[in-house]
Structure 1
Amino acid sequence: MANASGLFLQEAVTANAGVAGAGDGVYTDSAAAMWTNPATMSFMGESLTTINVMAFDLKMKFYDADTPAQDGEAQSYLPSISVFHAHQVSEKVHLGLALGAAGGSSLEYGDDWAGARALDSITLNVIVLNPSLSYQINEQWSVGGGVQFSWAAFEQTMSLTNLGKKVVAAKDTDWAYGYNLGVMYRHSDDLDFGLSYRSKSEHSFDAELKGTNQSISTDIDVPEIVDFSTRYGFSEDLNLLASVQFHRWSIWDETVLNLGYGEGVAIERDWDDVWKFAIGADYKLNSDWRLKAGFSYETSPQDDSEKQWVDLQVGEQYRYSLGASTNWDNVGVDFFYEYADLGEVKSAKRSIVDGPIGASLAGVNGTFDGRIHFVGVNFTI
């Protein structure tokens, strides 16, 4: 599986996707900004509702370094929708509710590629309900916080060595919980700053392999995220936006797979923390339209080819986005397109053996190359 910042695609919960999410922690024209920073609700007026509608085309290719006949390719087309609502309940208090498809994707390589014993196909979907509250201290400062209820569905198929060429499937669902906090400072009409934090959450899956007496038990950690965002009104018509995010992926040392024998085996991950940098510009073209453009870069959580695994190939990521927004009656409409270059990730072959009869999972020796096209529109009333 190939995803933004390790496991998740953030575009479905981005407030300003036309600028690659730059400045999301201070962007108050979309209720979706509460996802990054709940303190933004204090500057959204009496009521604001945003619906994010998006589709993406994800493609991953694998080039086998030993046997070209064992090359693989996986592609998926998936839609997504998220809903956000902020409402002022008193002079200083706003309440908000976000229901977001926080991430996940689906890939199917088939059973003929080099890594089929460990991965035929994989799907991970995560939906989060995030109620929140903001409090406006004065005209310049606001604080906010919320709780997150995260539901995840996991499914994986593989061809285990000791089961011959038979493809078996495992699936499970799980709930996890966390919280988020934020602060926003409006220095002037032309300058905003925001700082926010989203806590770690952990999903545990115990999925039976269909048609066997085996199972896969594994945990997936979603890391802490710290976001610093700013907006600068360069002129009456031009806003410049920027964000720096820290994703604490160093918590993910290993994935323990229990195939039904003893204590299971560990797939070493040994990930590093990820830094994400985003910049963007929002320009007022005329009284009807605003144009947007943005770019983001994420560092790689793992540069060691011997620690890459077939389910999640990760490297540096680059995102390029364009957008345009207008108003139809009282509805704000924000269109965007984004191209994500997932880069080339080298993988060195390694094998893992579990149990007395030697159920074997094999890695691959070659290069993964991935990209994603995103298209979406957001409606705000």
Structure 2
Amino acid sequence: MEQWMIICGASSGIRRCAVGGLAFALGAVGAAAANAGGLIAYEVGTADVGLASAGYGARAQDASTVFTNPAGMTRLDGTQFLATGQVLWNNTNLALGSGTSVALGRNDGGYAVGSDGWFLGGGAFMSYSVSPDLKLGLALTGNFGAPLDYDDDWAGRYYVQDTTLLGLSVLPSIAYRVNEKLSLGASLNAMYGIYENQVAINNSRWGAADGSLAIDDNDWAFGVNLGLLYEIDENTRIGLTWNSRVDFDFESSPQFSGLSPELRAILDRRGTLNSRIKVGITVPQQAMASLFSQVNDRWAVLASIGWQEWSEFGQVQLGIDNPQNPTRLTTDLDFDDTWHVAAGAQYQLNDAWRLSFGIAYDSDFQDGSQVSPLLPANSAWRFGIGGEQKLRGGAFWGIAAAYMYGGTLDTDLQSDVPVADGGRGNLAGSYEDLSTFYLAAYYNWAF
């Protein structure tokens, strides 16, 4: 029963603490907010937050270039180490509509992302000079996933309660300056995936309280990031990057609890209780072209255009549609490729301070009128601002903020079986004014 999917979120209790601790042990998690165009974030606590990702693969001004374009390491002298941290608050709350089945109740699920809308992230990045032309680097961060944790008794509990996907990357990297204009770079993307999905099971047909169905697994998967940096002159450079797809092969037996004896017997006869569910999650390949140009002593302009192949990845919805005839535990969902454009500027306020500004747009990757509560996300606008102070010895620190707006998305899920007969029921409503606020801080050491 091979399925392609991505389901993201935060679990509760001990599980949540364990996931969070592992994330920070690896260099922190930079999770995508649930209203981005796709689930790959540009925000991992660096100066790119204040630029809304403009010039993402061409900026190459600190050690985060190990992650955004490894070829950019050739512009860094000596050893550079960058530590970042960020906090985000996400407004993802479903306003239930009149089309929602009355028997499901009126609990809207609360703020679904992270812990009541809050989530932490960041990363660590290092570049080391073997010679002026040869650089080695390492990045520890995560920019894949969108944590979702609805109230257990919310109206959509038979579609999703909470889900988790965290992609934590370790990226050893290398860069080489071919000549005074051209540099090439590559990274191995070793990504550790943490996956969990839980949904309520409706036992009301047999007069019993809700049961639950959960699956979870962890897995390592690998990909390659390639980068090129071409310096047209000392003031202008172009960056080209390509990140390969990363394929996870999660596999888990369904973990049922609280099933009525009647439903358990039906599932046992169908062979579902002891089955194996294979969940193939694909982090899509992506390509980006970026520009950096120092216009004069004060101003620099930056821009990016990118593409992500979300159409090669499907999402499945976990649960039981019809308890009298449970033919499957998953349902497929479709996605479209996305496009990304960004523009920004840097302004040198004085010898010590540099300011950053940016705006970006990511296109739709699903039908905005039919989104699933598993993934309340679609197109998004980003607006960023930041400031950076140069210190002695080549070190510097900075702070950046961004606002991401995803508009309003509608949900209209219909069930063929009434709630009273054990069906999921109809779930209708709108995620209104989807938005995410990011606040990031970082420090770069030079040795």
Q: Return the TM-score normalized by structure 1.
A: 0.90
What is the distance in 1 between the residues matched to 2:317 and 2:126?
39
Mapping of residues 1-381 of structure 1, within 5 Å: 2-12=34-44, 14-66=46-98, 67=100, 69-74=106-111, 75-162=116-203, 164-207=209-252, 208-209=254-255, 211=257, 213=273, 217-255=278-316, 264=328, 266-303=330-367, 305-306=369-370, 308-330=371-393, 331-351=395-415, 364-369=427-432, 370-381=434-445
Instruction: Give 1:71 deviation, angstroms.
Output: 3.0
Moved more, 264-273 or 318-327: 264-273
Distance 1:324 1:76, change over 3 A: same
Identity within the alignment, %: 27
Q: Deviations over 1:242-274 (max 9, x none)?
A: 111101111024437598x99845533221110
Shift of 1:206: 2.9
Amino acid across the alignment from 1:247: Q
Equivalent residue pairs, number: 376
Q: Is the 8 A contact 1:12 1:102 kept in 2?
A: yes
Instruction: Give the drift of 1:79.
Output: 1.7
Q: How many Å separate the matches in 2 of 1:168 and 1:292?
A: 47
Post-superposition CA distance 1:112-143 (Å, at most 9, x none): 33211121122322210011111101111001
> What's the CA shift for 1:209?
2.2
* Alpha-carbon offset, residue 237 of structure 1: 0.7
Q: Structure 2 length as normaliser, TM-score? A: 0.77
Question: What displacement does 1:361 show?
Answer: 5.3
Task: Please tell me whether Structure 1 or Structure 2 has the larger radius of gyration of its CA atoms.
Answer: 2
Q: Which runs of 5+ in 1 are unaligned?
A: none
Measure, in 2, the Cα distance between the counterparts of 1:352 and 1:13.
45
Q: Cα deviation per residue 1:280-307 (whole Å; 9 max; x = unaligned)?
A: 111011112111111111001012534x
Structure with the higher fraction of residues in strand conformation:
1
Cα shift readout 1:351-377 (whole Å, capped 9, x = no counterpart): 499xxxx98556732212322111111
Deviation at 1:3, TM superposition (A): 4.9
Q: Distance in 2 between matches of 1:209 and 1:314?
A: 28
Question: Structure 1 residues 200-209 or 85-94, which shifts more?
Answer: 200-209
Q: Give the distance between the partners of 1:143 and 1:150, measured in 2 at CA.
A: 22
Query: How many angstroms apart in 2 are the aligned matches of 1:176 and 1:203?
Result: 6
CA offset digits 1:339-360 (Å, max 9, x no partner): 111221112213499xxxx985
Closer, same or farther in 2 for the Cα pair 1:352/1:218, shift >3 Å?
Answer: farther
Contact 2:36 2:378 in 1 (8 A): no
Contact kept in structure 2, 1:76 and 1:106, CA below 8 Å: no
Task: Tell me the secondary structure at the aligned position of residue 69 of structure 1.
Answer: coil
Q: SS of the residue aligned with 2:413?
A: coil
Which has the higher relative contact order, 1 or 2, with Cα contacts under 8 A spaced 6 or more apart?
2
